[in-house]
Amino acid sequence: MSTPPAAQDMQATADASTTDATALTREAIARVDSSGQLDDVLALPDHLRDALWRVESAIMQDWDTSAGLVVAGMGGSAIGGALARAALGDHASRPIFVTRAYGLPPWTTPDTMVLCASYSGDTEETLACYESAGALGARRTVVTTGGRLAEMARADGVPVIPLPGGFQPRAAVAYMTVAALEVAALCGAGPRLTSEIDVAASHTEQLVAEWGPDAPEDSLAKTLARGLHGTIPVVAGAGLTVPIAYRWKTQINENAKLPCFMHELPELDHNELVGWEGAPTVGRFSAVFLDDSDIHPRVKERMELTERLIAPHAAATFRPQTRGQTTIERVISLVLLGDLVSIYLAALRGVDPGPVRVIDELKAALAQG
């Protein structure tokens, strides 16, 4: 066991055999990254600012929806709703619910705001939610680049927050998060965080410099990627970091083309903890615990103890911390870190982070049916 040099922001135990000598430079990443996914991650601060401007220019009225907010979306378009809910935390004054399904929760009423989030505008589950919300007489808002969703919204007079085209949907995470935060404020489910988002954009710029490809090879993101390389990562969150753990999982799935799993504390201590005993007999698993300064003190204690109990069965364990003052800064900090780690992992594996061919194939097969 050793502690890598860039350990200021994390606790780590890693087996020396997990390291990889490949330099994670812009040039090395560009060799596999045919569609510039790295640039889209590095542009996260600009996306935050542009998203604020786009919501403002959509000129939406304040709609007081006493039953709260439902964000309907899938994959890279749904995660923004979950991150927004985490960023609002205790300041959410009404229920905020994310549905990743063909239908809305049964308690949706005309007093619910339904934000239909689909980057392409053609995701069938989200289109079904849009129609259900209309049938129920719920308030609707749409965030998309176009597709059938934009067509229907325009025909129905439903406000559309327009997104820039040309991204992989998952790269629009900042846009989706800001849209959900701003719509939450408009419908009375949370406070307006506009100026905090603007400040968070500058904070994120510093982290881009600290963890991006021009940073030293022993920087936190590169160290994490090397430690996870050659393992199946299992990511755990607690409180605010639970949806971020899910983001890490999905980014490692889609960018690095790897299996990756997630769970949350304290629940993990009541089941998954035991499963780790068998881990070395079936594969090389690594554990990442996403820590935050505001986690319940007993959960913090659990996280430290759990990492220690899992370490003998894991190829590596890591405990990166959120960075920043406000909840939005802290949420975005670990989203950025996970996105970078997933791109670095793709580069270490020699795979192109952009295309998600099997998802495209599945959608095409469903469209035939």
75 binds ligand F6R (CB under 6 A): yes
From candidates 40, 44, 69, 119, binder to ligand F6R by CB under 6 A: 119
Pick 29 or 279: Cβ nearer ligand F6R = 29
End-to-end Cα spacing for the chain: 53
Going from the C-alpha of 164 to that of each of 70, 111, 182, 276, the distances in angstroms are: 23, 30, 18, 43
Q: Which stretch, 154-162, 165-173, 280-288, 311-319, contacts ligand F6R (CB under 6 A)? A: 165-173
- 270 belongs to the catalytic site: yes
Pick 307 or 339: Cβ nearer ligand F6R = 339
From candidates 359, 360, 361, 362, binder to ligand F6R by CB under 6 A: 359
Contact criterion met (CB below 8 Å) for 326 and 294: no
**Residue 40: CB minimum distance to ligand F6R, A:** 10
**Residue 153: CB minimum distance to ligand F6R, A:** 14
Going from the C-alpha of 341 to that of each of 33, 251, 330, the distances in angstroms are: 14, 9, 17
Classified as helix, coil or strand, 231 is coil
Q: How many CB atoms lie within 10 A of CB 46?
A: 13
Pick 130 or 285: Cβ nearer ligand F6R = 130
115 binds ligand F6R (CB under 6 A): no
Q: Which stretch, 80-88, 162-170, 220-228, 299-307, contacts ligand F6R (CB under 6 A)? A: 162-170
* CA-CA-CA-CA torsion sign (224, 227, 232, 237): negative
Of 151, 217, 300, 363, the active-site residue reads 363
Which secondary structure element, helix H or strand E, spans residue 39, and what is its range? Answer: helix 37-42
Pick 99 or 118: Cβ nearer ligand F6R = 118
Dist CA 363 CA 156 (whole Å): 26
77 binds ligand F6R (CB under 6 A): yes
Classified as helix, coil or strand, 5 is coil
Query: What token pair was written down for 179?
Result: 């849209």
169 binds ligand F6R (CB under 6 A): yes
41 binds ligand F6R (CB under 6 A): no
168 binds ligand F6R (CB under 6 A): yes
Closest residue by Cα to residue 321 from 12, 4, 5? 12
Residue showing the smallest CB distance to ligand F6R in the complex: 75
354 binds ligand F6R (CB under 6 A): no
In the sheet with 69-73, reading across from the earlier edge strand, the strands are 96-99, 69-73, 113-118, 139-144, 160-162
Dist CA 60 CA 189 (whole Å): 15
**Residue 176: CB minimum distance to ligand F6R, A:** 8
Dist CA 369 CA 367 (whole Å): 6
118 binds ligand F6R (CB under 6 A): yes
Query: What token pair was written down for 327?
Result: 């909840």
- The residue to which tokens 């590596």 are assigned: 316
Dist CA 97 CA 183 (whole Å): 13
Closest residue by Cα to residue 150 from 169, 171, 126? 126
76 binds ligand F6R (CB under 6 A): yes
**Residue 346: CB minimum distance to ligand F6R, A:** 13
Closest residue by Cα to residue 41 from 344, 358, 319? 344
Q: Which stretch, 13-21, 163-171, 241-249, 263-271, contacts ligand F6R (CB under 6 A)? A: 163-171
Pick 46 or 360: Cβ nearer ligand F6R = 360
123 binds ligand F6R (CB under 6 A): yes
Of 125, 182, 254, 329, the active-site residue reads 254
From candidates 47, 54, 140, 170, binder to ligand F6R by CB under 6 A: 170
Q: What's the alpha-carbon Rg for the chain, to the nearest Å? A: 20
- 254 belongs to the catalytic site: yes
Q: Which stretch, 91-99, 120-128, 263-271, 317-325, contacts ligand F6R (CB under 6 A)? A: 120-128
243 binds ligand F6R (CB under 6 A): no
190 binds ligand F6R (CB under 6 A): no
Please give the positions annotated as active site.
254, 270, 363
Q: Which residues bind ligand F6R (CB under 6 A)?
A: 74-77, 118-120, 123, 126, 168-170, 254, 356, 359
